[in-house]
Amino acid sequence: MGKSSPDPSTQPSDLRPPPARGFTKPAFDSLRPQSFPPADERISDLVVGSVVGRYELLAIVAAGGMGRVWAARASGQHGFSRFVAMKTILPSLVHNEELRARFFDEATLAAKIHHPNVCQILDLGDSDGLPWMVLEWIDGAPLSELYTSDPTPIDARAAARIMSQVCAGLHAAHEVCGDDGEPLGAVHRDVSPQNIMVGEGIVKVTDFGIAKAIGRSLTTQAGQVRGKAPYLAPEQLTAQPVDRRTDVYAAGALLYELLTGRRAYDGETDAIILMKVMNDLPQKPEELVPQLPVPLRAIVARAMSKRPADRYPSAQAMQRALDEWLVQASPLSDSALTRIIVDRLGTAIFDRREQIKRTMTDRASGNGPARSPIELIPTMSSLEFQPWI
């Protein structure tokens, strides 16, 4: 939180764009959408209780080096009210043109994807030069939370069903077309346990922040490696061209982790992990879980092939393989799958709901501070949000 932020209680409730005034043009100004107002010293930090557009910030659910994710409430006429998530860039970074462009690119790409296994984007805007995007509220927790309270592997059928849905969501992203009907060749590039949300009947791919797609302003940067080390395919690590099979690799690494409770590649440092990804094979999953069904071992091995040509040609093909195995495995009902997920998440979802409810009750009764300092929801603080490079 910036110490020099003006007293929030004296700020206007709606952060309307102020009248334009002189400012120094940043070097990459061409990347800025034409309608965008200049970002300058007027940008103040956001706190719980701030109103951004027609959204009221209720609680912070994730804080990273570059931005924040908030629980927020959209209000409308006739008492209309709806829970949403809002993503914002840190005020100190709003001048970073690359970050801004990435932020708008993320929203533009995500807005084109309509699929139940992909987090919906609902709105995009800026207030006082501070960009924000509004997402459907996902009442869940990142997949990474499944193993925080219990490291034993989950039921293989649950792992396969979760990954089948992840693959369906990824396939929808890979197939997305531009307004001209031409495929955008989108690749998520950051498929990792932090970017998959699960909950009661929920599996959703989120965070298209570093996705690649034709037309993105920042796709052509050569030699940049982004994403999280244990899930990066060899071609991504060596800055070779990536395509949908790069996400298939990451889905394979996620499946490995769900089935075994262990990362396929792990190490003290990212450099060690990268060396392993390039040169080694992961420990055979059946050595960790001897009863692992043979078809699932084969799916992991194929999805995680070092050469893209040896992998499933698409996330849909990987989904089909998972579904074929599921059909002949003993059935796992929707309610049983939900129970497994909810039991594993422990209190993560419950705590988050409680925190938001408390904030709303306090504010409605006038008891709580109108604008309180940001407080991280404790159960979410264990998450890592630093991009790897």
Ligand X SMILES: Nc1ncnc2c1ncn2[C@@H]1O[C@H](COP(=O)(O)OP(=O)(O)O)[C@@H](O)[C@H]1O
Q: CB-wise, 15 or 383, nearer to ligand X?
A: 383
- Least distance in angstroms from the C-beta of 145 to ligand X: 9
Q: CB-wise, 8 or 209, nearer to Mg ion?
A: 209
Stretch near ligand X under the rule CB under 6 A, chosen from 34-42, 203-211, 274-282, 298-306: 203-211
**What residues have CB less than 8 Å from 235, skipping those under 6 apart?**
241, 242, 246, 308
| Site membership for ligand X, residue 206 (CB under 6 A) | yes
HSE-up of residue 334 (Cα within 13 Å, Cβ side): 5
Measured CA to CA, the distance from residue 387 to residue 257 in angstroms comes to: 19
* 371: exposed, middle or buried (Cβ count in 10 Å: 0-12, 13-18, 19+): middle
Angle at the Cα of 329 from the Cα atoms of 328 and 331, rounded to 5 degrees = 110
Whole-angstrom CA distances from 30 to 36, 55, 217, 231, 336 are: 11, 29, 10, 33, 52
Measured CA to CA, the distance from residue 19 to residue 43 in angstroms comes to: 13
| Site membership for ligand X, residue 74 (CB under 6 A) | no
| Site membership for ligand X, residue 131 (CB under 6 A) | no
- Least distance in angstroms from the C-beta of 381 to ligand X: 11
Stretch near ligand X under the rule CB under 6 A, chosen from 61-69, 159-167, 170-178, 272-280: 61-69
| Site membership for ligand X, residue 319 (CB under 6 A) | no
Residue 190 designated active-site = yes
Task: With CA atoms as reference, report the closest residue to 306 among 234, 227, 248.
Answer: 234
Q: Look at residue 97 and give the partner it binds from Mg ion, ligand X, none, a contact being a CB closer than 5 to 8 Å depending on partner kind.
A: none
Give the contact letters, 78-97, x = binds to ligand X (CB under 6 A), - = no: -------x------------
| Site membership for ligand X, residue 379 (CB under 6 A) | no
Q: Is 242 helix (H, G, I), strand (E, B) or coil?
A: coil
Q: CB-wise, 64 or 295, nearer to Mg ion?
A: 64
Which of 190, 266, 280, 351 is the catalytic position?
190
Measured CA to CA, the distance from residue 154 to residue 188 in angstroms comes to: 26
DSSP per-residue letters across 153-168: PPPHHHHHHHHHHHHH
The site for Mg ion (CB under 5 A) is made up of 194-195, 207
Q: CB-wise, 204 or 363, nearer to ligand X?
A: 204
Return the active site residues. Answer: 190
Positions that interact with ligand X (CB under 6 A): 61-62, 64, 67, 69, 85, 119, 135-138, 142, 194-195, 206-207, 209, 380, 383, 385
